[in-house]
Structure formats: C-alpha cells, structure tokens
Amino acid sequence: MKHTSAVFVDSLREALRCLLRARLRSMLGIVGIGIASVIAMVSAGEIAKAEARRQFEALGTDIVTVRVAGGNRSAKMQLDDALALAGSLPEISAASPVVTGAAGFLHAGRSVGSGSMTGVTEAYADLAKLEVARGRFLSDLDAGRFWCVVGAKVADAIRKAGTLDPLAAELEIGGHFYRVVGVLERREEAYGSPLNVRADEAVFVPVATAWRVTRNARIETIIARAAPGVHHEDAATAVAAWFKKRTPRVGLKAVSAKQLIAQMEAQLGVMTLLLGAIGSISLIVGGIGVMNVMLISVSERRREIGVRRALGASRGDIRRQFLIESVILTLTGGLVGLAVGSAATWGICDYSGWEFFVSTLSVVIGLGVSSAVGVFFGLQPAHQASRLDPIVALQGE
Amino acid sequence: MLELADIRKSYRLGPVEVEVLKGIDLRVDAGDLMSIMGPSGSGKSTLMNILGLLGRPTSGSYRLGGRDVSTMSDRELSAFRNEHIGFVFQSFNLLGHLTALENVALPLTYRGMGRRQAGRRAEEILEKVAMGDRLDHRPDQLSGGQKQRVAIARALAGTPSVVLADEPTGALDSNTADEVMQLLIRLNRDEGVAVVIITHDPVVSLLCRRQSLIRDGMLLDGSAEMAESGAP
Ligand SMILES: Nc1ncnc2c1ncn2[C@@H]1O[C@H](COP(=O)(O)OP(=O)(O)OP(=O)(O)O)[C@@H](O)[C@H]1O
Ligand SMILES: [Mg+2]
C-alpha cells in the first residue's frame, strides 16, 4: 500500500498515453454517452422534482386538487355540486371549480391569445395566488356576467392591437364578448404547473358564464384549500368522502399537493427508466470496449510487466496499476459525460422553463458510476496482467 | 549471502520431463565477481531466473540474505527481489516511455520511496555510470552502450546484494562491451556489490575473478574445471 502513490502516477501517465489512441477514444465516447445519460437522468429528475416542489410550495402545500374523471362511464359533475363544496366542509377553507371554455381570444378583430378561457370563482385568485395589477379580480357577484380578467401577456397583446388601456377593453371569445375588469400581475410560470394554467396567457371568466356558454361544458378540476390546522391528506380524504355522498355516480379523485408531487415524480420515472436504459446499455458496451482495450494493452505490455516484476513489483502492484489505469480511462469518459449530460440537462430545463442547477447527486453518481465501470471491466485485464509469469513476460514482445 | 544447494529444475514438455538443472550447488559472497558460461540451452538463464527469484526450482534449497526463500509468498518474494537483486538484461529492458531518471527510480518507488527522494538517488547513481548528462533522455534517444549503462544504474539503484547480468554485452559491439564490462568491474570494486555475469564471451569471462561453467545440468566451478583439464 505504501507505494500506491508512485504506482498511481505511473498509471496516470500510462492512461493518458493510451487516451491518445483512436480506438480507445471511441470506447470512452460510449462510456461518456452512458454517463451523460445517467447525469441527465439524475439531474433532470432532481430539477423537475425541485421545480414541482417550488411551484406547489408557492401555492401552498395545503392545496387539494379534485380531478373529475371524464368519459361516458361516469356521470357528469354539475356546477351546483362543485360550487357547494366551498361552504359545506369544515376541512376546506376555500374552493373553486375550473371550467375550460372556448379557445382563441380576439380583440378589435385581432388575435390576442390562443389559450382557452378559464371559468373560476372569486376564491380562485387566492387559491392560485394570482395578483391583480389593475382593476379587480372576478367576484362571486359577477356570476353569469360577461366580464373577464386577463393575464399579463394577453394585456400586452391588447395594447399591441391598438388599445392603450386594456382595462374595459372588449374580448371576443367563442362568439361572445367579454369586458376586461382586471389585469393580472406578470408571473413566469413553468410547464407542468400544478394548476395546469399559465396565468400570463390566461383569460378568467365567471364560472357560471363559462358553464352556460360552453357547449358540453365539463368541470375537470376543483381546486380547494385545506382549512387551517387540517392536514392536507385528511382534507383530501374528506373531500373525496363528501363527493361520494353527494354525487355517488361521478368518478373523481381528490389528491393533496404532496400526493400530486408524488404523482409527478412517478411520471418522471418513465423518463428516468428510458435514460437509465440508454445509460446502462452504453455503459456496458463502453465498459466492454475499455476492457478490450485494456486486454490489448496488457498483451502489448507484457515485457513492461515482466520488467516491473523483476524490479520488485508484486502481483498486487501490477493488478493495482492496471486497475487504476482502467479507472482513469473510464473516469475521463465520465468527466466528458458529466459535461455533456449537464449540457443536455440545461437544454431540457431551458425547454421546460425549469430552473437549471447541477445537482451534487448527479455529479457524485456520474463519477461514482464511471469509476465503478472502470473497476468492474478493469478487473479481468488487471488480473490477467498480475498472473503473467514474469519469465515468460520478460521474453515477450 | 546467497547459497544454492542441490537445485534442480525440470520442464514438462508434453509427456517427457526434461531436467535442465541437475543439482546445482553455488555460493555467492558479498563482493564476488563471477561469470557463468555454457553452451546455448544449457540452463544459464534458467539458473539466473531462480537466483533472481523470478522462477522457483523444482527442488533444492535456496538461501538468500539468511532466509530460505522457498516458502515465501509472491508479496514477500517481490519485496525480497526488490531489496536484494539487481537485473541487467541483454536487451536492456528499459521502459520506453520513461526517461533515464524515471527508469532508474522505478525500483525505488516499488519499495515505497517518495518520488523526490527516489529521483535524487537515481540522479546520483546515473552520475556514477557517467550518464548524469542524460537524465531526461528516453531510451530511444540513447545508444546501446548508454542504454546498458542506464540499465546498470537501475540495477544498482536499490543497493542490492547481487547484480545478475544475463549476457549484458551480448547486444553490444566489442568496444562498447568492454566499456560496460569495465563499468561492472568498477562498480563491483567501489560499491562492493556482488556481480554474476552470464556470457558466451571468454574475454568477458576472463575479466571476472571467478569463472564457472554449466554443462549437462551441473555447475562446474572454474578453478576445478581448469584443474581438471589442465588449462591455464
Ligand atoms: N518454459 C520452458 N518450458 C520448457 N522448456 C524450457 C522452458 N524454459 C527453458 N526451457 C528449456 O530449458 C533449457 C535451458 O534454457 P535456458 O534459457 O536456461 O538456456 P540458456 O543456457 O540461457 O541458453 P542461451 O545461451 O541460448 O540463452 C533449454 O533447453 C530450453 O529449451
Ligand atoms: Mg539465456
């Protein structure tokens, strides 16, 4: 053990020399791809999780989401039932159904947005933490009125269309005209926002209006907040039980924010699996390649091995030397993979609007895995080198 | 310091067993300068490998530095080899990607000496073989004689008990061969290290204080051989 450092320096030099060979470079490329996948897998997963957490925490983890099942098998949820939730359950402090209406917003004959209008109640502003920049949010007294509140980007578009003040402007949506009564504060929002609404691009209308004017209007979601002191999962259970009694034929699922996070993480699992598969396959292929390169290196360097043995290297020294070499090789591939994987992750984040960071876990895993690949696939060549008869090795070419 | 008693070595070649060494007795003392001659295939290198702890005899006892080496593990043997044996080969066997200095320092690093200290010691010994101005040269930048001088420095770096040289002049022209022999003789005298030289060259052999001959698997001490045949 005492001379490990000298052996290490030797091995380092030898590994660097080998690195210059083309065949090895391609093998390391494959190891790099493997590590890159692992890195992307781990970091994107971590980042997405962090993102989901951040967004839920912005809304409060006491949010309960009721997802109403669509389709023919279950009965349709009626607006009255959805609205009744708010005042009927002590476990719930506020609730708002969400009805998605017609798509495409027009102002002065020009398009000012391509999203769908969203029918909500007054409570929604607080539930979704929407801030009003000008005017006011919808009130429950507006029920049935053709009034709307627009997100910051829609307001921008209205101004661009020639109306200096979006407040009191008229929007045409699905053949009806709505008066703008409020403009929301700008807020950047990522894809995969828990409420499935990007407030900047949204137009909110009273839920009763949306319900009435939309053909086949359906309530897809009801957002609620647990009352103070009520655990979010208890609130979700209570909501589910309440609907089961009131609308037994409607299929629905009440989930707390924490459960939603878990669901999102499970969805990420698919991507993780895919990247994991790519990663493992290329690590195995690259590892076998590195093993071959090492085996060739061992047979090419028989004489050197013999000389080292004659100078006093034990079998263990030779084995260690070749193991270190192979680990240095795969680590080099791993470092490249780390860079490529981080770049890929940055791309994913940029596309998804997530906040990019290099997760420590991914670095640790990336370097750990590439070292492990080096050790695993280096064992056989190293063993072979250490087993050479020094006399035969010295006669070798 | 080094003592062989009734060393035998046989190789199996298919069904036949060939006994190459048939009971060798040999003592090498500190400061000895000895040559071993013999026809090709007589087992000189085989004996040298046994002396150098690279190969084990089929039977017989070998004591080196006061210890019986036959029961040692690979680890112990390697450490013992590093401590007691210096090899000089016909084909130099320098590592091509290392400089002269690094080649000479290599046996020292295997005994755990720090790089800096090993480097200093290597430089010192390279100066002794008149290669002090070629420290950073790689083997392919050196002539045959220079390579062998570096190899001799490497063999001596660890202050071994004995230097084993298997045809050290075999790959050199006669002038260079003579220089290398003079170097070995000088180092034997100045450093007190025992030197055993295998050679085909009677001139080289005659430069040694002690001469011996392997024939039919037996080692004949030079003096006895000469007494027998009446040769000078
Ligand atoms: N690994 C082996 N397997 C079988 N036979 C071997 C082996 N090594 C050596 N021999 C045989 O042992 C005999 C002695 O070989 P050795 O190399 O010791 O001879 P040598 O005296 O050094 O010859 P030279 O002067 O040509 O170098 C030879 O006949 C050789 O064929
Ligand atoms: Mg020989």
Question: Within this chain, do residues A99 and A242 fall inside the same structural domain, yes or no?
Answer: yes
Chain A residues within 8 A of B125 when measuring between CB atoms: none
CATH topology of domain B2-229: Rossmann fold (3.40.50)
pTM of this structure = 0.72
Q: How far apart are CA A184 and CA A138, in angstroms?
A: 11
State mean pLDDT over B107-134.
94
C-alpha distance from residue B148 to each of B49, B54, B144, B151, B157 (Å): 19, 21, 6, 5, 14
Asked if residue B226 has pLDDT above 60, the reply is no
- Residue at B14: amino acid letter: G
Distance from CA of B58 to the nearest CA of A (A): 15
For every one of its 397 residues, what pLDDT tens digit does chain A have, with 9 covering 90 and above?
445 666 777 777 777 776 666 667 777 777 777 888 777 777 777 777 777 777 777 777 788 888 887 555 667 888 888 888 888 889 899 999 999 888 899 998 899 988 889 999 999 998 888 899 999 999 988 888 999 999 999 999 999 998 889 998 999 999 999 999 999 998 876 555 556 678 888 999 999 999 999 888 888 889 999 888 888 888 889 998 998 888 888 888 888 877 777 777 777 777 777 777 888 888 888 888 889 888 988 998 999 999 999 999 999 999 999 999 999 888 888 888 888 888 888 888 888 777 788 888 888 888 888 899 999 999 999 999 999 999 999 987 6
SS3 A163: coil
Question: Within this chain, do residues A46 and A127 fall inside the same structural domain, yes or no?
Answer: no
Question: Within this chain, do residues A344 and A238 fall inside the same structural domain, yes or no?
Answer: no
Distance from CA of B224 to the nearest CA of A (A): 31
Cβ(A306)–Cβ(A393) below 8 Å: yes
Supply φ then ψ for residue B184, to 5 degrees: -60, -40
Q: How far apart are CA A27 and CA A290, in angstroms?
A: 6
Domain end position, chosen among A189, A213, A248: A248
Cβ–Cβ below 8 Å for A310 and B158: no
Question: Within this chain, do residues A158 and A29 fall inside the same structural domain, yes or no?
Answer: no
SS3 A151: coil
Q: How far apart are CA A148 and CA A205, in angstroms?
A: 5
A215-224, A345-354, B72-81, B97-106, range with the lowest pLDDT: A345-354
Cβ(A107)–Cβ(A98) below 8 Å: no
Cβ–Cβ below 8 Å for A10 and B111: no
Domain of residue A299: give its range: 2-55+263-395
Pocket of ligand 1 (CB under 6 A): B 11, 13, 20, 38, 40-46
Query: Tokens 């013992």 — which residue?
Result: B80
Residue A311 near chain B (CB below 8 Å): yes
Residue A372 near chain B (CB below 8 Å): no
Percent of chain B topping pLDDT 90: 89
Cβ(B18)–Cβ(B9) below 8 Å: no
Question: Within this chain, do residues A220 and A274 fall inside the same structural domain, yes or no?
Answer: no
Question: Within this chain, do residues A352 and A208 fall inside the same structural domain, yes or no?
Answer: no
- Structural domain includes residue A383: yes
What residues contact A369, with CB distance under 8 A and at least 6 apart?
A34, A35, A38, A283, A334
Distance from CA of B223 to the nearest CA of A (A): 31
The pLDDT of residue A257 is: 76
Buried b (16+ CB within 10 A) or exposed e, A359-374: beebbebbbebbbebb
- Structural domain includes residue A92: yes
Structure tokens at B14: 């298919």
DSSP A201-268: G-EEEEHHHHHHHSTT--EEEEEEEEPTT--HHHHHHHHHHHHHHH-TTS-EEEEEHHHHHHHHHHHH
Cβ–Cβ below 8 Å for B107 and A311: yes
CA nearest to B90, candidates B177, B217, B218: B177
Question: Within this chain, do residues A91 and A210 fall inside the same structural domain, yes or no?
Answer: yes
Confidence band of B223 (pLDDT split at 50, 70, 90): low
- Structural domain includes residue A106: yes
Distance from Cα A374 to the centre of ligand 2, integer Å = 39
Domain end position, chosen among A217, A248, A279: A248
The pLDDT of residue B229 is: 47
Per-residue pLDDT reduced to its tens digit, B132-165? 999 999 999 999 999 999 999 999 999 999 999 9
The pLDDT of residue A287 is: 86
State mean pLDDT over B61-78.
94
Mutate to test the pocket of ligand 1, among B13, B45, B48, B91 (most ligand atoms within 8 A of CB): B45
Distance from Cα B44 to the centre of ligand 2, integer Å = 6
Distance from CA of B101 to the nearest CA of A (A): 14
- Structural domain includes residue A70: no
The pLDDT of residue B222 is: 67
Residue A390 near chain B (CB below 8 Å): yes
The pLDDT of residue A138 is: 93
Chain B residues within 8 A of A394 when measuring between CB atoms: 54, 89, 93
Question: Within this chain, do residues A101 and A234 fall inside the same structural domain, yes or no?
Answer: yes
Note the ligand closest to the C-alpha atom of B44: 1
Calculate ∠ Cα B177-B180-B182, nearest 5°. Answer: 110
Measured from the CA of B48, which atom of ligand 1 is nearest? 18
The pLDDT of residue A22 is: 63
SS3 B204: helix
Note the ligand closest to the C-alpha atom of B12: 1
Question: Within this chain, do residues A243 and A269 fall inside the same structural domain, yes or no?
Answer: no
Cβ(A200)–Cβ(A105) below 8 Å: no
Q: How far apart are CA A369 and CA A365, in angstroms?
A: 6
A19-23, A57-61, B102-106, B203-207, range with the lowest pLDDT: A19-23
Among A2, A13, A16, A311, the residue to mutate for chain B (most B Cβ within 10 A): A311
Confidence band of B228 (pLDDT split at 50, 70, 90): very low
Chain A residues within 8 A of B109 when measuring between CB atoms: 3, 6-7, 10
The number of domains in chain A is: 2
